[in-house]
Amino acid sequence: MSTEPPAAPRIPREAGAADYSVGAAAARRAFATEQTGAVLDHVGRFSADPGELPGNIENFMGSAQVPIGLAGPLRVDGEHAQGDFWVPLATVEGTLVASYNRGMKLLRASGGVKTTIVDDAMQRAPSFVFPSAREARAFGEWLTEHFEEIAAAAEETTGTGKLRDIEQYPAARIRYTRFNYTTGDAAGQNMTGKATLAACRWIVENCPLPIERYYLESNFATDKKASQVNMMRVRGKRVIAEATIPGDLLRSMMRVEPEALFRSRLVSTLGGAMAGVNNTGSHSANAITALFIATGQDAANVAESSAAYAFAELTPEGDYYYAITLPSLIVATYGGGTGLATQRECLELLGCYGTGGVRKFAEVVAATVLCGELSLSAAIVAEEWVEAHDQFGRNRP
């Protein structure tokens, strides 16, 4: 004879706005301590106003305090970011801030980092299922013919999002699509989801072809997953950061010869190809994660954003040209976590908070990545990598 399992303890909650209060957070910490025995004194020390957190978190009980280091000045020669920037990096990895600071010093002495945004789109990827491939093919033609009406339906849901185009990829009796939007200063995942739902409902109501069903997301936008399609196309911002470093500076500041650095890049590129990586550079995820945490980005987007193409050349003068392409950098300066207290301060430190700041911020992120790529690759070639971590990166309680 079966019996009902005992009811699980319930996390304390209050009704309405009272759930986002100092008292409600304290009650949840006390509950967690009662259930586990863990003492949460530091989790409960925070400066954020809980009343500002609805829409960002549920069951709020405290904050994870990640140390923030300052690197710079980072000199950027961008189309949106111009001049020197002091960069906040939130991390617990010793050596990281020092390494980026070193790269920034090198590239500032070299004239700065040139940055270019070459594409900008956020996706939702619905798929449409038909009785056979022929109806799916006809649907593709119908979709192209009715783009303006579909865009109008999508854009009724947003004041800033614009449907740029719809990519189509047929397979079996399914028409996979990618709805590409520009999203202003927001990252735009929620915006594009809402807009595409409205578009799909309009399509179902108006398309004369026999749509058996549709799926709002078919895993073809690859949200929070690295993918080849986003590396070849774009998700978020496609940004290129590049610089030419004089050979004399590499010798005096990094203790490496340009030729040795270039040979190392060739070996690293081949090794990455053999391993099947989505990143032929060294460690773009370090800069991107540290900046994302400091500035209130969705940290899970590092999965896509850290994809990178690294490229290097030796110039006829013996200097070292290096470029990093970030094909799917997802950033925001408005909405999400960007308006929370410490996150907003870090964006304001960069002069990127709010409306009109997202492209500037994207260029700062890409330039920071380039500095770290050069610093780490030079440390490996100069055989200083392990020594640096021994000096700065050991904290063993």
Q: Any idea which residues carry the catalytic annotation?
A: 93, 298, 389
Q: Which residue in 209, 236, 208 sits closest to 328, CA to CA?
A: 236
Q: Which residue in 111, 95, 170 sits closest to 135, CA to CA?
A: 170
The answer to whether residues 181 and 115 touch, using CB atoms and an 8 Å cutoff, is: no
DSSP 17-54: GGGSSHHHHHHHHHHHHHHH----TTTT---S-GGG-T
The answer to whether residues 139 and 130 touch, using CB atoms and an 8 Å cutoff, is: yes
Indicate the helix (H) or strand (E) that contains 104: helix 96-109
Alpha-carbon radius of gyration of the chain = 24
φ and ψ of 334, to 5 deg: -145, 135
Q: 291 to each of 92, 96, 108, 369, 386, how far by Cα in Å? A: 13, 12, 20, 10, 24
Indicate the helix (H) or strand (E) that contains 105: helix 96-109
**Helix 341-349 and helix 284-295, axial crossing angle in degrees, nearest 10:** 120
3-state secondary structure of 68: strand
Question: CA-CA distance, 329 to 306, in Å (whole number)?
Answer: 7
3-state secondary structure of 357: coil
Question: CA-CA distance, 215 to 218, in Å (whole number)?
Answer: 6
Q: 10 to each of 26, 44, 223, how far by Cα in Å? A: 15, 20, 31
